[in-house]
Structure 1
Amino acid sequence: MLASVRRFGVPLFSRPVLSYNSIGLSARYVSTSPTLLLPVKGSSKAKTTGKQAKSAAAKGTKSKSPAKKDKPWERRDPNTGELIPLPYDRKPTKRPRFVLFFMERLQELKEKPEFRKTNQDGNKVFDIKSAASTIGAEWKKLPESERARVDRLYEQHVAQYEKELKAWQKSLTPDDIQRQNQFLAHQRKAGKKTVRRNIPVPDNMKRPLSAFFLFAQHLRANSQTTQPVYEFAKEAGAKWKALSANEKEPFEEQARADKEEYNKRMERLK
């Protein structure tokens, strides 16, 4: 390499006197001679370059990683493949009086030139900070007649909210409730402090009792015991094991009937 540099007239410097300027000048000069960049046949650099090329080719042909697996609470639209929102994401929202007033006034102030400002790009944009400050001051000094109007607006909003809430509750399927509560449990396990309450499972969606629990329910209803739940369950388990097949049959038959009825309800709710 040094011989090639001498042949092309590049001045050589001893190590102590090398500077960034001289190195940069030499690099620019050498870069104008493409033949100097060719590796010498059989050299170690040529082998390294070959290995690097093979490595790059291998990376280029590497297969893509498999698609990310959906979480247990995630469902996708069969037509679009997009994630379906969780029930709480589409639950109607009840807004307080001030928010209703704020949203109404915000739309009005957007049209006023005094609430326009020039951003860094030189474009005129809405000054939301100034508008919010103005609306807050207006709310504090709101006259009684205007406050009464906002009260009527709030009553209309509450009536609409309750109507939408009932429609939302009616639209919930067993799968919706299960996956929403699964997501909330995941948030609690991850240590999130503010987690919403689980969606309560309606009576018509609750799973039926097994034959043993029907027996335990019968046993407790026909006894005056004051035992703690754990001790009573332990005693009921021992008594259940001691029953004959004929004695268990009424409870098992009731459990089968309840399960069939439950499955029919679930089919209607889908």
Structure 2
Amino acid sequence: MPKGNTKSDTKPRGRMTAYAYFVQICREEHKKKHPEENVVFAEFSKKCAERWKTMSDKEKKRFHEMADVDKKRYEAEMKDYTPSENEKGKRGKKRKQMKDPNAPKRPLPAFFIFSNDERSKVKQANPCYTAGDTSKELGRMWSEADPAVKSKYQELADEDKARYDREMIEYKKTGKVSQPEPPVVKTHPVLNEEEEEEEEDDQ
């Protein structure tokens, strides 16, 4: 059988930017020099960004070359990439199924809640990051996070799951989720002219 046109149904890994390679290598070098040190991400990212800004084009050249090689790898893999029938079916179903606006909002996993809190910090510290770079960095931060931090976000995820379960019970019964009632603002009754005159006479 000919082997030239072998297609893959495994989606290619996203390509990396020159800056992402630079940060990755800086992190690896730092770990080699200080294996026992806990890296503070915000400070480390800030130093990387400052260093990148001051680097000459010649110094950045090797990172751009690495990014170009990865870009070609990604484009070549995408040409050979064919979504599986299962994936095509899932995409088709997603297009056909209209989301009910009255349905409860799905619960977020602990990692997603963590990412929502940290994404702006990552973008601020690394303005050159693409969306893919940001996602990879958030994944790394989560994997290296302290157990106490993960526990905090797991509690938030559990609370959100409980909220979703409550709302789903109501949604299945009524077809919608009741919104919390706005606070009642007490107002004084509006008196007509005759009632105002009577009040003045009583005083």
TM-score by length of 1: 0.30
TM-score by length of 2: 0.38
Bigger RCO of structures 1 and 2 (CA < 8 A, at least 6 apart) = 2
